[in-house]
């Protein structure tokens, strides 16, 4: 197994992590540990948000780029790591 696979496995098995998913550049989920409907919803919404965030950062300074996006809500934390072609989304419950 490649390093990346192992890393993803570790992340999934980490304490408090609810789910992980990998979304491609068009917002279509490639890999997920959650059920389909949730995945599709998360993928679509977060994809737009990430694009918007990226656009914002780069508009201000084109040499800058978005590295990470964290949305902390009451119930849990959604973390988005954008990549050139993919989006890695992890939902974690940080308190316990």
Partner 1 sequence: MLPASAKAPHKQPHKQSISIGRGTRKRDEDSGTEVGEGTDEWAQSKATVRPPDQLELTDTELKEEFTRILTANNPHAPQNIVRYSFKEGTYKPIGFVNQLAVHYTQVGNLIPKDSDEGRRQHYRDELVAVSYQGSQESVKVISETGNLEEDEEPKELETEPGSQTDVPAAGAAEKVTEEELMTPKQPKERKLTNQFNFSERASQTYNNPVRDRECQTEPPPRTNFSATANQWEIYDAYVEELEKQEKTKEKEKAKTPVAKKSGKMAMRKLTSMESQTDDLIKLSQAAKIMERMVNQNTYDDIAQDFKYYDDAADEYRDQVGTLLPLWKFQNDKAKRLSVTALCWNPKYRDLFAVGYGSYDFMKQSRGMLLLYSLKNPSFPEYMFSSNSGVMCLDIHVDHPYLVAVGHYDGNVAIYNLKKPHSQPSFCSSAKSGKHSDPVWQVKWQKDDMDQNLNFFSVSSDGRIVSWTLVKRKLVHVDVIKLKVEGSTTEVPEGLQLHPVGCGTAFDFHKEIDYMFLVGTEEGRIYKCSKSYSSQFLDTYDAHNMSVDTVSWNPYHTKVFMSCSSDWTVKIWDHTIKTPMFIYDLNSAVGDVAWAPYSSTVFAAVTTDGKAYIFDLAINKYEAICIQPVAAKKNRLTHVQFNLIHPIIIVGDDRGHIISLKLSPNLRKMPKDNLSQRHLESHGLFPLPLWVSGHSSQPWEKKGQEVQKGPAVEIAKLDKLLNLVREVKIKT
Token pair for 39 = 């995945």
User: Cα–Cα distance between 76 and 79 in angstroms, integer?
Assistant: 10
Min dist. Cβ of residue 40 to partner 1 (A): 18
10, 28, 41, 71: which one binds partner 1 (CB under 8 A): 10
For 81, phi then psi, to 5°, come to: -110, 105
Q: Is 94 in the site for partner 1 (CB under 8 A)?
A: yes
Q: Is 11 in the site for partner 1 (CB under 8 A)?
A: yes
Q: Is 22 in the site for partner 1 (CB under 8 A)?
A: yes
Assess contact for 79 and 92: CB atoms under 8 A: yes
Using the structure block, give the residue that is written with the tokens 């918007």: 52
Q: Is 74 in the site for partner 1 (CB under 8 A)?
A: no
Scanning 1-96, the segments in alpha helix (DSSP H) are: 3-13, 36-60
> Interface residues with partner 1 (CB under 8 A)?
2-5, 7-8, 10-11, 14-17, 22, 24, 30, 55, 58-59, 62-63, 67-68, 70, 77, 79, 81-88, 90, 92, 94
């Amino acid at each position: 197994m490649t390093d990346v696979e192992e890393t993803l496995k570790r992340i999934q098995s980490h304490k408090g992590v609810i789910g992980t998913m990998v979304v491609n550049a068009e917002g279509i989920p490639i890999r997920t540990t959650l059920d389909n409907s949730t995945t599709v919803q998360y993928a679509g919404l977060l994809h737009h948000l990430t694009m918007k965030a990226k656009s914002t950062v780069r508009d201000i300074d084109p040499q800058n780029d978005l590295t990470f996006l964290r949305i902390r809500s009451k119930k849990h934390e959604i973390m988005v790591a954008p990549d050139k072609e993919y989006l890695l989304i992890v939902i974690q419950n940080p308190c316990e």
